Structure formats: C-alpha cells, structure tokens
C-alpha cells in the first residue's frame, strides 16, 4: 500500500482493524497521552481522536505501536528498501545475484524528491500555533510539544533540497516564556545535522529559515530519525520507504512538504536561547529545563482534513521502540561497513538506548595464542568515536566465535556469556570526563559524565550461580538480596546521601563481601528496591544503566589501581540507586488517571478494548 497522506494511512489502518476512532471529547492536556500509554501497553490499535478539546483538528497516535503494525505500514516497500541498502553495504551483491537486485537502482532513482507542479495540498489553509492540538504528556512538562516533528533546513545560500537536513528535534509549542503564536522552542542534541547548519548561519547575515512538517505519509516521520547511509538524503529515503516521491513546494523563501498535514515556517533566531522543557523523555525521566534555540513563527499551513500526528514517550519500551526495530531490520547489513570487524550491535531500548550498547566483534589479532581482548578493544574505540554510538555510556563487547549463535538481542544469554568470561582485573576500560547523552542526568553535569567498556573473549573463567553462600550476611542497612539471573545479584541499600557517604558505606560492604565465596556471582547491584529491580529483565536494564555514572558508581570487591588501571579481584559492585542530582522519574497524574478510567467506560471505542 502506498499512502499519499496520513488520511489514507488512517483509512487503511481502520479498514484492516488496526485503528479505533474516539469520538468523545478528549483533553490534549495529559488525557490523550494517558489513553495512548494504556493502549500501547496492551498492544492495542492506533487511536484517532476525532474531538480534541481546544482544537478544530483531529489527532492520531500509536500508528507504529507494534512491530507488526509498523511492518504492515511499509509492507509494499520494505523489501525494496532492504535491497537498496544491501547494495550499499556491498555493491558486489549485484553481480552475485543480479535478478534480486535488478530493481534496486530504479527504486532509488524513482524516489528522488520532486517539486509540486500544481497547487499543493499543504497550502489549503492557514492556522495558528494555539489552534493546534496542545498535547502535553506528563504532569511536569513545560508545555505542549510536537513529538513527531520533521524539521527541514538548508545550508546558507543553498536551494537544492538534496542538500537539506531533515531531523526529528523536539519542538515546544507553549509554556515557559514563549509568546504564544509567535515563538516556539527547538531542542536539538549532540551529533545532529541541524547544528552544522546553525553554525554556518551564525557566521553570516542570511536568516536561518526552518520548516517543521507534521504528519504526511508515515514514511516521512520515520525518515527524520533514520541514520542515513553516506550519500542518501532523508527525502530520498522517505520516497523509497513510502513508495512515492517526496513532494515539496516553496512559499516566502520556505520549503513546504506538499504531503504533510501541517507545516510551521519560521526563522531560528541566531545567538538567542530561551528556557525549554522540562519534558518527560525516553529514558523514563524528565529532561530538565535548559536554554535552547528559539524559532520565530511566520505561518502555520494545513491541508484539508488535516490530522495531527503525535506520539508519547517515556520509560521504554514505547511507540518509538518500533523505530529502533525497523532501523535494525534495514541497516543491520551496514554494520560491518560502518564498524569494520563488528558483527552485531544492539543499543538496548529498555535501558534508554544510549546508556547501554551491546556488541559482538571479531578477535583475529593473535589466533595462535591464548585468546584475550585485543581487536575488540580497537572496535570498541571505533564505536565510541562514531556519531550517535559515541553517546554510549556502558559498552559491553564480546568476541564472535566463542560460542555459536551468540546474539546481542538475546540479552539474558549475552550477559551469561560475558559474565562467565569477564576478568575484572583486566577487562574494564574507563573514559572519564567525557560526553554522554543530553537526556542522561546520571553524570557530573549536562552532557558530561563517563563511559566504560567491558570487553571479554575466550573460554569461561567462572560458572554462574543464583544461590547465595550459606554464610551470606550483609552490613546494617543492606538487605533483601534478589537474583536478577544467574550471576547478577541486586541488594537493597539505604537511600543515597552523598558521594562521600556512599564510598564509605560501600567500602564496608565490599570488605564484608570479600570474606564470602562469591566467585559465581560476578555482578552485584546496589538499588533502592531489589524486588522491583529483579522482577523483570526490563526493570534490571532500566535501573542498572540509567542511574549510574561509571566513574563514580562502579566499585569492586578487592579493588586496586595498577599504573592508572582500575580493577577488582572479586565481584563488580554498581551503585544503581537514585541520586539527588538525577532527574525525577515519570509518574502519571492520579486525577487524570481517574478521568481516563471513566473515558474507557463511556467511549464505545475505548470500552471495546477491555483494557
């Protein structure tokens, strides 16, 4: 199915039983987000809100809510796109299987963006920022946000859209000190293409024009977050994945997406910043208020029967997890090209993506002697020196060939493999005082923290156990030991007070643990709630890796420093408690939850879901 608009997508989803229409008036202030979360958690359908309080426009969410529905949206194009990317990964594939790849060059060529020759649907009408659905997802959010924007910019003095950047950067529509209908906030982070354009405009006199597209065919939003192979523009990718060329027009010096449902045009004010946020983000905590660029609004265009496309983010997994799934399906063959020697990478969604990266590399340096991490350390440095993967905080890398069919996507098995082979005296490699993800507040400052590489290869060094030794006891304040899985033990610790107090109390704990036979329990977590941490794999991943700064929160039994190398001869101890400097976790509003309880009774479509 090729969609010319979001309206066609909505009709197709509804026809095949993948969408419900909510006709009851729903408030975009927290209520729509609460409904979305409940339906998503239940694996439910996409949701069309036909009566949005305070807005004349409809809104749709959760269209990518399951992996199966995401594949359904792109069912007629995904195989064609995979062929193009396979050729990009290895052009020799064309000569090996010419019949398979015969159509691939035409897929790319016929997806090139094109200018609309006649009147564009997007210029049907004009509206204002205040008339758009003012979707607020979490109680402490600073205002309403655009959560699936496609931000289009061109470099100075460039008109060729093939040189554009299309990215998904958070847009704040209201709240804080923004003048309603005149100013909006634009939040972008490290390693974003728009930053390059912003730098160039700051050096000259030309106004920095930007266009924000919302809606359109579902391939358009996806293209804004897709990490593009070198030489492939986001607009061309949108055309390939959508099965239809990206159409655009121009108005008043701005480029407009002809197929979008809404386009906000304006100018990013050079050298001006205003407070943006807080915003409940995809790590499961708020990203706090910081100064970010401001865009002065020129016009807001909309097509006939426009539908506002939004999503809700929070502690993963959420709807945006499907983006990561589809990216993996499309670009997995490019991994060896981007990272020579790397077989597989998994940016772990449940841990917030950037906090934890699992990888499998190749260990070929010295095949005639005892295996130890060598080449995989070189590969780890390549990963931490490249684009978005440079934001990884914990990078755990194993070597291919130690066991058959090892996969970073079988996370319990991967941890088993690593913990059986890791040598804490050798296999920990820290980077201190470096950059981490903008949304990660576990470090020493904004975008500031540390990283650790854990590398292992070779034969098992220890067996793993999920049984405590008979003489196991803990110092006062530490209690409720619970196994996450074999070899990983969560211990409930007193609330964190300070780094100095923590270091002192954990030193006493490590001294106590040093008297016990713990060689089969190589990893110990100190947590606020051991029952919660051990209850599910996702809880463990979220707690362990979003709440820790490696340089400050990693301890060890019988630890030592040898020529600036830190290690330990007993279990590694990670302090995964909430600290005072962390951003607060996302908690729904109880009053709103009660109102939404009633909506699931009163509205026929919601009631039919039996959630």
pLDDT tier for residue 231 given thresholds of 50, 70 and 90: low
Give yes or no for residue 564 having a pLDDT over 60: yes
pLDDT confidence of residue 119: 83
Angle, CA 77 vertex, CA 75 and CA 82 arms, to 5°: 110
Over residues 410-426, the pLDDT tens digits come to: 999 999 999 999 999 99
Examine the domain organization and report whether 523 and 563 are in the same domain. Answer: yes
Residue 67: inside a domain: yes
Yes or no: say if 32 and 57 are a contact pair by the CB < 8 Å rule: no
Examine the domain organization and report whether 411 and 532 are in the same domain. Answer: no
pLDDT confidence of residue 416: 97
Mean pLDDT of the chain: 93
Examine the domain organization and report whether 356 and 424 are in the same domain. Answer: yes
3-state secondary structure of 441: coil
The set of residues, in sequence order, having a beta carbon less than 8 Å from that of 84 and lying 6+ positions away, is 104, 107, 108, 240
Q: What is the CATH number of the domain that holds 169?
A: 2.30.110.10
pLDDT confidence of residue 209: 95
What is the pairing mode between strands 356-361 and 394-399?
A: parallel
Among residues 456, 471, 490, the one where a domain terminates is 456
pLDDT confidence of residue 200: 86
Over residues 255-271, the pLDDT tens digits come to: 999 999 999 999 999 88
Q: Whole-angstrom Cα distance, residue 219 to residue 111?
A: 12
Q: What is the CATH number of the domain that holds 342?
A: 3.40.1670.10
Examine the domain organization and report whether 432 and 490 are in the same domain. Answer: no
Examine the domain organization and report whether 449 and 483 are in the same domain. Answer: no
What predicted TM-score, i.e. pTM, was given to this entire model?
0.92
Write the DSSP symbol of residue 184: E
pLDDT tier for residue 229 given thresholds of 50, 70 and 90: low
Q: Which residues pair with 573 in a beta bridge?
A: 524, 555
Residue 369: inside a domain: yes
Residue 280: inside a domain: yes
Examine the domain organization and report whether 302 and 336 are in the same domain. Answer: no
Examine the domain organization and report whether 251 and 360 are in the same domain. Answer: no
3-state secondary structure of 384: helix
Quote the number of domains for the chain.
3
pLDDT tier for residue 557 given thresholds of 50, 70 and 90: very high
Give yes or no for residue 382 having a pLDDT over 80: yes
Yes or no: say if 59 and 307 are a contact pair by the CB < 8 Å rule: yes
Radius of gyration of the chain (CA): 25
Name residue, tokens 């039983």: 17
Examine the domain organization and report whether 515 and 450 are in the same domain. Answer: no
Over residues 512-535, the pLDDT tens digits come to: 999 999 999 999 999 999 999 999
pLDDT confidence of residue 190: 52
Residue among 151, 117, 373, 184 nearest 262 (CA): 151
Host domain of residue 144: 6-73+111-309
Examine the domain organization and report whether 282 and 363 are in the same domain. Answer: no
Q: Is residue 579 left, alpha or beta, with left meaning phi > 0 and alpha meaning psi from -120 to 50?
A: beta
Examine the domain organization and report whether 166 and 218 are in the same domain. Answer: yes
pLDDT confidence of residue 191: 53
Yes or no: say if 140 and 286 are a contact pair by the CB < 8 Å rule: yes
Examine the domain organization and report whether 543 and 415 are in the same domain. Answer: no
Examine the domain organization and report whether 173 and 140 are in the same domain. Answer: yes
Residue 68: inside a domain: yes
For the residues of 163-179, what is the DSSP string, one character each? G-EEE--EEE-SSTTPP
Across 178-202, average pLDDT: 84
Token pair of 310, please?
Answer: 């939004």
Residue 340: inside a domain: yes
φ, ψ dihedrals at 358, nearest 5°: -105, 140
pLDDT tier for residue 437 given thresholds of 50, 70 and 90: confident
Across 68-89, average pLDDT: 87
Across 1-21, average pLDDT: 96
């Amino acid at each position: 199915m090729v969609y010319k608009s979001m309206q066609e997508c909505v009709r197709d989803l509804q026809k095949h039983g993948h969408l419900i229409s909510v006709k009851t008036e729903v408030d975009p202030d927290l209520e729509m987000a609460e409904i979305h979360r409940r339906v998503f958690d239940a694996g439910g359908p996409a949701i069309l809100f036909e009566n949005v309080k305070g807005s004349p426009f409809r809104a749709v969410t959760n269209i990518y809510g399951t992996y199966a529905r995401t594949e359904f949206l792109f069912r007629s194009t995904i195989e064609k796109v995979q062929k193009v990317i396979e050729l990009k990964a290895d052009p020799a594939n064309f000569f090996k299987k010419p019949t398979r790849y015969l159509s691939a060059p035409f897929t790319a060529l016929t997806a090139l963006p094109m200018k609309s020759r006649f009147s564009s649907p997007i210029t049907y009408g004009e509206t204002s920022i205040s008339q758009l659905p003012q979707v607020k997802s979490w109680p402490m959010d600073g205002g309403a946000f655009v959560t699936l924007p496609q931000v289009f910019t061109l470099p100075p003095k460039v008109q060729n859209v093939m040189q554009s950047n299309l990215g998904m950067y958070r847009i704040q529509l209201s709240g804080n000190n923004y003048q309603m209908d005149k100013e909006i906030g634009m939040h972008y982070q490290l390693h974003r293409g728009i930053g390059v354009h912003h730098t160039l405009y700051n050096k000259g006199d030309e106004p920095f024009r930007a266009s924000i597209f919302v809606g359109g065919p579902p391939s358009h939003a996806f293209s804004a977050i897709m990490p593009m192979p070198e030489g492939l523009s986001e607009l061309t990718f949108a055309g390939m994945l959508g099965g239809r060329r990206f159409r655009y027009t121009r108005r008043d010096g701005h480029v407009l997406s002809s197929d979008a449902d809404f386009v906000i045009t304006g100018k990013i004010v050079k050298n001006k910043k205003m407070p943006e946020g807080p915003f409940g983000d995809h790590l499961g905590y708020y990203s706090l208020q910081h100064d970010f660029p401001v865009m002065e609004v020129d016009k807001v265009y909309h097509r006939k029967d426009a539908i506002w496309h939004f999503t809700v983010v929070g502690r993963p997994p959420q709807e945006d997890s499907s983006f990561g799934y589809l990216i993996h399906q499309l670009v997995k063959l490019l991994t060896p090209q981007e990272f020579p020697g790397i077989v597989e990478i998994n940016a772990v969604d449940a841990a917030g993506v950037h906090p934890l990266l699992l990888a499998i590399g190749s260990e070929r340096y010295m095949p005639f002697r005892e295996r130890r991490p060598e080449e995989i350390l070189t590969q780890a440095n390549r990963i931490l020196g490249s684009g978005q993967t440079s934001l990884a905080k914990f990078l755990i890398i194993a070597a291919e060939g130690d066991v058959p069919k090892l996969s970073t996507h079988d996370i319990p098995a991967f941890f088993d493999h690593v913990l059986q082979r890791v040598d804490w005296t050798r296999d920990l490699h820290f980077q201190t005082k470096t950059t981490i993800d903008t949304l990660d507040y576990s470090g020493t400052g904004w975008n500031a923290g540390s990283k650790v590489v854990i590398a292992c290869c070779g034969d098992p060094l220890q067996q793993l156990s999920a049984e405590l030794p008979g003489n196991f006891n803990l110092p006062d304040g530490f209690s409720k030991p619970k196994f996450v899985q074999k070899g990983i033990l969560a211990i409930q610790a007193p609330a964190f007070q300070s780094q100095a107090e923590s270091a002192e109390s954990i030193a006493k704990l490590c001294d106590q643990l040093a008297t016990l036979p713990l060689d089969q329990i190589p990893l110990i977590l100190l947590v606020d709630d051991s029952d919660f941490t051990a209850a599910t794999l996702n809880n463990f991943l979220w707690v362990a890796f979003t709440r820790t700064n490696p340089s400050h929160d990693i301890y060890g039994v019988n630890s030592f420093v040898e020529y600036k190398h830190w290690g330990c001869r007993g279990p590694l101890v990670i302090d995964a408690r909430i600290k005072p400097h962390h951003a607060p976790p996302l908690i729904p509003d109880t009053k709103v939850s009660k109102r939404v309880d009633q909506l699931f009774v009163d509205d026929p479509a919601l009631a039919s879901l039996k959630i």
